[in-house]
Amino acid sequence: MFQKIRLVFLLLLASVLFFLPNCQGQSGKDAGPAFYYWKTTLDFTEKDAELAASLQQQHFYLRYFDVDWSAGYASAVPTGVLEINDTKGWDKKTITPTVYITNRTFVQIKDQDIPALATKLARKIEQLNEDFVSNVFNYSFYDRLPEQVPWEERSDIVDSLKREWSKKMLEIQIDCDWTLSTRDKYFSFLKVLQEKASDYLISCTLRLHQYRDRKTMGIPPVERVMLMCYNTGDPKKLAESNAILDAQVVKYYLKGKKYPRQMDVALPQFNWGAWYRAGAFQGLLRDLAPSTPGTESYLQNEQNNQYRVLQDTVIRQDYLREGDLIRMDGPTPAQMQETLKLLRERLGRNIRRIAFFDWDHDKIKANEAQIKADFNFLR
């Protein structure tokens, strides 16, 4: 009896130590911004953990894998499965497993094969959930338990912590840019997935055009949606002013009555350079911004966010020629502020979660103060 009482005491002690931090304030809303983690490898360093703490960031939408159509297998297959390396500090966080599914998957799949896809996806997520929790609470975690906990009892405590942490994993999010032609198949998939993964709430992303054109695009059969307030233009078009965030485009799409689903909002925290040669689109130069070190040696600002290449230059594997044009797309403070005002005006203050896409230490650190201000404005 004494040993049982002692073990209960130690479990309570460990729970207090490891679950005291709360990601929500008294209002029930998050105390800090959420982020998407959209890489194929999870390496969360000490620097990442410190920055997340400064932002009071406690929730991640963690991309587990993509699903695409394989012509060779004539079926949908997982690609880019997340490799979990370092999860420092993630025992204090909560996550939403997130899966991106290409629209062509629903173009190709037959109606009768949708239940099998939902079943396989639910199993894959459950497997990765187990792998993730085991990585967070690995053997090195045993050493972090209170000294008074006997070694032979630590395994039971860690198992209990795993179970308690897993209970905080409440949601699975599906990201798919469905179209009118794939709407019915996609919605059918979401319904079946909710049945197969009944322990979780299934949510999905919502593009701006899907928000506005709800009569034709339909309302997804989920309780909660994530409105993606970015990628407002076509980067291939030279005439675009900012293909990542243009508040006037956001205003154009945020029309109609209140959307009949609980709403979260995702905002951009990324950049690219849209690259043109003689007016023809050449590609996207990822993570390129005016502040990128070294750009002043080969780029000259012509007007607004357009830059001229001064000399032949190689960026990663892209060969830029003298005279090429680069349009720097990204969330400028002015565009972001106008977008936030629109969101508050059109959606009100009932947004549960405000997320930024996506986590990159250096970019987030450089914009830390602005991210805090943007989050607090909508909160």
The residues with which 35 forms a beta bridge, in sequence order, are 60, 356
Per this entry, what is the length of the chain?
Answer: 379
Instruction: State residue 361's pLDDT score.
Output: 96
**Beta strands of 122-223 (E only): which ranges?**
171-175, 201-207
Q: What proportion of the chain, given as a percentage, has pLDDT over 70? A: 92
Residue scoring higher pLDDT (297 or 182) = 182
Contact present, 225 and 262 (Cβ < 8 Å): yes
Contact 358, 37 (CB under 8 A): yes
Helices (H) and strands (E) in the chain, counts: 13, 18
Cα gap 194→191, rounded to integer Å: 5
Please report the pLDDT score of residue 189 as a whole number.
99
pLDDT in tens, 295-327: 889 999 999 999 999 999 999 899 999 999 999
The per-residue pLDDT for range 197-214, each reduced to its tens digit, is: 999 999 999 999 999 999
332-343 pLDDT per residue, tens: 999 999 999 999
What are the tokens at 189? 């998939």
Q: With contact defined as beta carbons under 8 Å apart, do 276 and 325 qualify? A: yes
pLDDT value at residue 26: 44
What domains, with CATH codes, occur in the chain? 2-270+330-378 (3.20.20), 272-329 (no CATH)
pLDDT, tens only, 50-108 = 999 999 999 999 999 999 999 999 999 999 999 999 888 898 899 999 999 999 999 99
Residue 11 clears pLDDT 60, i.e. is over it: no
Averaged confidence pLDDT in the chain: 91
Residue 1: pLDDT above 70? no
Confidence band, pLDDT 50/70/90 cuts, at residue 122: very high
Measure CA 204 to chain center.
Answer: 11
Higher-scoring residue by pLDDT: 27, 207: 207
Provide the 3-class DSSP secondary structure of residue 263: strand
In this structure, what are the phi and psi dihedrals at residue 195, rounded to the nearest 5 degrees?
-70, -40
Query: What per-residue confidence (pLDDT) applies to 146?
Result: 76
Comparing CA positions, the residue from 269, 74, 305, 104 lying closest to residue 185 is 104
